[in-house]
Structure 1
Amino acid sequence: MSTAKNQFLSLFSHITRRTRGVGVGKLSTPWFTKPIASAPMNGWSGPKLVAAVANHGGVPIFPIGYFTDPAAILKDLQSILPLLSDNGPQQDDIGDSEEEGAGNKTELLPYAVGFITFWLDRQGPDLLLKILEGQGDLPHPTPSGETTTTGGAKKALRPPAAVWFSFGDYRPYLKLIRQHGAAGTRVIVQVQTVQEAIDAQRDGVDVIVLQGTESGGHGAQRVRPLLSFIPEVVEALQERNKSNGLKVPAILAAGGISLNSQWRAVEALGASGVVVGTGFMPTFESPGAQHAKERILNASDGGDSTVRTRIFDELRDFGWPEGYDGRVVRNLVTDREEEDMKTRSVVEPKGAEAFKVLREDRTGTKEDWKRAVKDQDLDYIPLWAGTGVGLLKKQMSAAEWMDQLLGESEKDK
């Protein structure tokens, strides 16, 4: 796919990789060539999957998630680097580009990092700043094989290509990135409403991820289906581009996307890429447990076999703010929750009433939860997955999955 013709990929065209057989220092094709971002999934998006997606031209998002140990996160980031197919990305001289900060030749690593914004608020910005400084990089050799320049100075550490924010006010961190980030570092923001997309356009973010209700994992409780969400956002952003000159960010679609026909549909509606989570979960490179991968592959009727709920966040005591829940594969816990709500004549609990229903331990769920966490029993612990889970039938590599989604696999040619 031509990166010049794709708005999302063109944002990263300054990150390139060497071509085998050319002279030292020669730069070749852009690193990112496929409009697929792998979602930042705790427990499922490990270094091997991140590297596999990057090596095949996709844009992987490493999950920072519920971090409490910055040193462990930085170590995980450093472990990605030896897995990359090239000995390190190079950044073209962006001095001829129109982007702000042109002329800064800081190299960027071929992945993004994804923060849960409200959790970042609790932990503080130190880890974000360390990542922006390049502390997720390892000392790396110059083309001559040395780790220092000819003048004796150490070669600069490289930050990631982008930073992703979901679920909270990202604006304070946007300021930090602009103050401390390298030129060419992109900002990706996930939104669940048209107004949030408009706000992100006003804030000048580079990429907006439109998360539909079909998405697995966490999202807003009140969120619309993708097929109506995308065109409404596109129209709103284009209107503000015409009236106020505001740049229209690249748009990615997220939620239940598992087939090439779905990619073509969201592309026709105005998305220049997709964010895929569930589709990458059963791949060989994902660190998820094999019995969990098999449960994903054996699921059918994804709209019925998954359900949105807050029960697992209540059981985990992670303190998710009101207004968010998550889509999971149905299990005994979600069945108990539904039955209990019917018994209490609570059809759709909201606000404080929802918390009351879910927090009370009337069914033995809490004790079962403690045992299940120890045993990793998926009848009780969450298996986050989107409605596209019913379309996943075969375990494959991340590269094969990406080619299939884009219609580039051998059988699709």
Structure 2
Amino acid sequence: MSPAKNQFLALFSHITRRSRGVGQAATPWFTKPIASAPMNGWSGPKLVAAVANHGGVPIFPIGYFTDPAAILKDLQSILPLLSDNDQQDGIDNSQNNNEELTKTEFLPYAVGFITFWLDRQGPDLLLKILEGQGDLPRSTPSSGTTTTGLKKVLRPPAAVWFSFGDYRPYLKLVRQHGAAGTKVIVQVQTVQEAIDAQLDGVDVIVLQGTESGGHGAQRVRPLLSFVPEVADVLQEQGKAKGLKVPAILAAGGISVNAQFRAVQAMGASGVVIGTGFMPTFESPGPQHAKERILKTGDGGDTTVRTRIFDELRDFGWPEGYDGRVVRNLVTDREEEDMKTRGVVEPKGADAFKVLREDRTGTKEDWKQAVKDQDLDFIPLWAGTGVGLLKKQVSAAERMDQLLGESEKDN
């Protein structure tokens, strides 16, 4: 797909693979309007690199970070996996002229922050990433310059993603401290949030539908109505107020080419894929969980939205959010309690009791389930499109399937 013909890809046209010979033009890194979702535990360096190498826009999950140094080390571990050898060891400016040095270069991936968690931890890690500390500089003389006296340049990521909370203070930080050309992606769950993001000058808006796996707003609409309404409203706002119209990505239950084409027809430039990448070879998720995903049919019935696992994990998710998971014993017992005991939302000790059929469960039972990776008790986040996934494939093959470029079954 030509980046120039796709609004989302066009935003990243300044990020290119290096030319391999004299007179050869550099080629765009991002050629497929597919972003991999920032999924904790499922979007590791191998998946990020695989998506980037095949022309997609990978988003590395910063998640519930408590150790910024470990995050930066993870980011650096992506670079040796990239297919462009010049990306692996940072920028070598020894052959560049001064005109080329005025252009900021970028790493071919984005980073994704949980905004309310960023509020708690502070912006230091975000600022370090914007400075390029996730890059791997090439070895040079101790003076920190190349043999020609030109300084090395550490690269920031192509974009920063914010979701679940007030992104505006961090949008300001990116604009003030980030390089010109660093894009901002914001995930929203309502039409008004999309309008506000346009007014704030956000580059990309991700419309998250109720079909989406993992966390989202408890009150959120299906993509079938969400995407076209937002697309129309943003165009109207753009014309009426002279505002830039951000690129739109659709997220939620998208697993096959027909769905991809449908959301594009409704006004989206591309898609964000989470569940679809979970059972790929490159994802770091456990194999038994991947197999469970591939055996799960009828995703609209076999997945359910709940807050019970946030109570059990004690991450302090704000009110108004829940998460879609594959049904298991915990969600079944939660539903039973709602019907027979009138418990609307188990909290505290009641949440742990849901783990045990005799209602004597404790926090130790939860810890043991996590240690055993017992999917009857711990969450397997997945969207409604899980029932369309039938076969374990590579990330590249999954992308080709979505774009209708593969004859193989899902």
Q: Structure 1 residue 297: deviation in Å?
A: 0.4
Q: How does 1:9-88 map to 2 (within 5 A)?
A: 9-20=9-20, 22-23=21-22, 27-88=25-86
Q: Secondary structure at 2:78's aligned position in 1? A: helix
Q: Which residue in the other structure is 2:401 paired with?
A: 404
In the alignment, residue 394 of structure 1 is paired with which amino acid?
A: K
- The answer to whether the Cα contact below 8 Å between 2:190 and 2:220 also exists between their aligned partners in 1 is yes
Distance 2:195 2:360 in 1: 44
- The answer to whether the Cα contact below 8 Å between 2:62 and 2:71 also exists between their aligned partners in 1 is yes
Distance 1:354 1:298 in 2: 29
Q: Which residue in the other structure is 1:235 paired with?
A: 232
In the alignment, residue 76 of structure 1 is paired with which amino acid?
A: D
Q: Which residue in the other structure is 2:132 paired with?
A: 134
Q: Secondary structure at 1:88's aligned position in 2? A: helix
Distance 2:150 2:350 in 1: 58
Alignment partner of 2:122 out of 110, 121, 124: 124
Q: How does 1:228-377 map to 2 (within 5 A)?
A: 228-345=225-342, 349=344, 355=347, 359=351, 361=353, 363-366=359-362, 367-377=364-374
What is the RMSD computed on CA atoms of the aligned residues? 2.2
1:175 aligns with 2:151: no
Q: Which residue in the other structure is 2:7 paired with?
A: 7
- In 2 relative to 1, CA 406–203 (structure 1 residues): closer, same or farther, beyond 3 Å? same
Q: Secondary structure at 2:28's aligned position in 1? A: coil
Q: Structure 1 residue 354: deviation in Å?
A: 6.4
Q: Which runs of 4 or more aligned residues in structure 1 lie more than 4 Å from their structure 2 counterparts after TM superposition? A: 353-360
Q: Secondary structure at 1:275's aligned position in 2? A: strand
Instruction: List per-residue Cα deviations over 1:163-193 (Å, max 9, x = no partner).
Output: 0000000000011101110111000000000
Q: How does 1:70-109 map to 2 (within 5 A)?
A: 70-88=68-86, 104-109=102-107
Instruction: List per-residue Cα deviations over 1:309-359 (Å, max 9, x = no partner).
Output: 00000001100000000000000111110001111235xx4xxx6657964
In the alignment, residue 233 of structure 1 is paired with which amino acid?
A: V
Instruction: List per-residue Cα deviations over 1:200-258 (Å, max 9, x = no partner).
Output: 00000000000000000000000000010001111111111111011110000000000
Q: Structure 1 residue 410: deviation in Å?
A: 4.5
Between 1:128-137 and 1:237-246, the stretch displaced more is 237-246
TM-score, with structure 1 as normaliser: 0.91
Distance 1:206 1:273 in 2: 14
In the alignment, residue 75 of structure 1 is paired with which amino acid?
A: K
Distance 2:408 2:255 in 1: 16
In the alignment, residue 22 of structure 2 is paired with which amino acid?
A: G
- The answer to whether the Cα contact below 8 Å between 1:16 and 1:27 also exists between their aligned partners in 2 is no
Q: Structure 1 residue 29: deviation in Å?
A: 1.4
Q: Which residue in the other structure is 2:186 paired with?
A: 189
- The answer to whether the Cα contact below 8 Å between 1:213 and 1:226 also exists between their aligned partners in 2 is yes
- The answer to whether the Cα contact below 8 Å between 2:213 and 2:384 also exists between their aligned partners in 1 is yes
Q: Which residue in the other structure is 2:112 paired with?
A: 114
Distance 2:257 2:86 in 1: 31
What are the ranges of 5 or more consecutive residues in structure 1 without an aligned counterpart? Answer: 92-101
- The answer to whether the Cα contact below 8 Å between 2:35 and 2:57 also exists between their aligned partners in 1 is yes
Distance 1:225 1:79 in 2: 37
- In 2 relative to 1, CA 242–279 (structure 1 residues): closer, same or farther, beyond 3 Å? same
Distance 2:147 2:367 in 1: 58
Q: Structure 1 residue 369: deviation in Å?
A: 1.5
Distance 1:84 1:364 in 2: 50
In the alignment, residue 29 of structure 1 is paired with which amino acid?
A: T
In the alignment, residue 17 of structure 1 is paired with which amino acid?
A: R
- The answer to whether the Cα contact below 8 Å between 2:35 and 2:59 also exists between their aligned partners in 1 is yes
- The answer to whether the Cα contact below 8 Å between 1:368 and 1:380 also exists between their aligned partners in 2 is no
- The answer to whether the Cα contact below 8 Å between 1:64 and 1:114 also exists between their aligned partners in 2 is yes
TM-score, with structure 2 as normaliser: 0.91
Q: Structure 1 residue 380: deviation in Å?
A: 0.4
In the alignment, residue 115 of structure 2 is paired with which amino acid?
A: T
In the alignment, residue 2 of structure 1 is paired with which amino acid?
A: S
Between 1:210-219 and 1:149-158, the stretch displaced more is 149-158
Q: Structure 1 residue 411: deviation in Å?
A: 5.5
What are the ranges of 5 or more consecutive residues in structure 2 without an aligned counterpart? Answer: 92-99
- The answer to whether the Cα contact below 8 Å between 1:52 and 1:398 also exists between their aligned partners in 2 is yes
Distance 1:372 1:354 in 2: 18
- The answer to whether the Cα contact below 8 Å between 1:46 and 1:286 also exists between their aligned partners in 2 is yes
Distance 2:243 2:252 in 1: 27
Distance 1:182 1:76 in 2: 21
- The answer to whether the Cα contact below 8 Å between 2:334 and 2:346 also exists between their aligned partners in 1 is no
- The answer to whether the Cα contact below 8 Å between 2:205 and 2:246 also exists between their aligned partners in 1 is yes
In the alignment, residue 170 of structure 1 is paired with which amino acid?
A: Y
Q: Secondary structure at 2:85's aligned position in 1? A: coil
The count of residues paired between Structure 1 and Structure 2 equals 392
Q: Secondary structure at 1:130's aligned position in 2? A: helix
Instruction: List per-residue Cα deviations over 1:281-323 (Å, max 9, x = no partner).
Output: 0000000000000000000000011000000000011000000
